[in-house]
Amino acid sequence: MGLTYRCKLILFGNAAVGKTSIIDMYVNNKFEEEYISTLGYNVFEKSIKMKDENIVNFMIFDIGGQEQFEELRKKYAAGAKAALLVYDVTNRESFENIKKWQNDLINFTENATFILVGNKVDLEDARQIQKDEGEALASDIGAYGFFETSAKTNTEIDEAFHKLAQAYLEIVISK
Ligand SMILES: Nc1nc2c(ncn2[C@@H]2O[C@H](COP(=O)(O)OP(=O)(O)OP(=O)(O)O)[C@@H](O)[C@H]2O)c(=O)[nH]1
Ligand SMILES: [Mg+2]
């Protein structure tokens, strides 16, 4: 029989990259076209059953990416064990900011394991960041994994969370 492991998870990335949308698709199977910037934070919960029968119970903290929420991010990132660093493949600035987000992750958490996600791949015509650039950055910053996702078309969303659950289990089980 498997065990249940609770894991606090956060998403970091510029405003409007699609953090809330990724969570909404993952947890509620829904997508909203309208942009409603997250003011403050919201918490979601979802469990994944792994192949080995262990269960990872994610407490997902969705914190607004706007500059003004820096203090809030610091407060609510504390204790996070896993993270998604998210950029928008149609927005170079969001990609260039990933190192800043990784820096915050290092400063606000104790070695949270993380993966890199390039979101909005359904907007192929507007793409500014190619997949190999994303892969190179992921390996450069030591991400546990890299995914190109779309919250709109539900592409690679489950896979990204599953990978993070795997990363988390490796850490807790090896301890
Ligand atoms: N085409 C497309 N649009 C997306 C995708 N993901 C999010 N969006 C849109 O991008 C906008 C911003 O999405 P949010 O999920 O609110 O972004 P956020 O990162 O949570 O932004 P903050 O809360 O301000 O930090 C919304 O209009 C979404 O509909 C995607 O995969 N494809
Ligand atoms: Mg949001």
Prediction pTM value: 0.97
| Three-state DSSP state, 160 | helix
Domain with CATH 3.40.50.300 in the chain: 1-10+22-72
* DSSP class of 90: T
Cβ-based burial of 85 (10 A; exposed 0-12, middle 13-18, buried ≥19):
buried
β-bridge partners, 61: 10, 43
Q: Which amino acid is at 75?
A: K
pLDDT at 164: 97
pLDDT at 133: 98
CATH 3.40.50.300 at 1-10+22-72, yes or no: yes
Q: How far is CA 153 from CA 39, 60, 88, 125, in A?
A: 25, 21, 15, 15
How close is the Cα of 129 to the center of ligand 2, in Å? 21
What atom in ligand 1 is closest to the CA of residue 86?
A: 19
pLDDT at 174: 82
Instruction: List, as ranges, residues with CB under 5 A of the ion ligand 2.
Output: 19-20, 38
Is 109 within 8 Å of 80 (Cβ atoms)?
yes
pLDDT at 2: 86
User: Which residues approach ligand 1 with their CB closer than 6 A?
Assistant: 15-21, 32-35, 37-38, 64-66, 119-120, 122-123, 150-152
C-alpha–C-alpha distance, residues 125 and 85, integer Å: 23
pLDDT at 111: 86
Say which residues have a Cβ less than 8 Å from residue 165's Cβ, sequence separation at least 6.
7, 48, 50, 56, 58, 82
C-alpha–C-alpha distance, residues 79 and 11, integer Å: 13
Residue to mutate (ligand 1; options 14, 20, 69; most atoms within 8 A of CB): 20
Is 60 within 8 Å of 27 (Cβ atoms)?
yes
Instruction: Give the ranges where the chain is alpha helix by DSSP (H).
Output: 19-28, 70-77, 92-96, 98-108, 131-140, 157-174
Residue by residue, pLDDT tens for the chain (175 residues) are 789 999 999 999 999 999 999 999 999 999 999 999 999 899 999 999 999 999 999 999 999 999 889 999 999 999 999 999 999 999 999 999 999 999 999 999 998 999 999 999 999 999 999 999 999 999 999 999 999 999 999 999 999 999 999 999 999 988 7
pLDDT at 19: 98
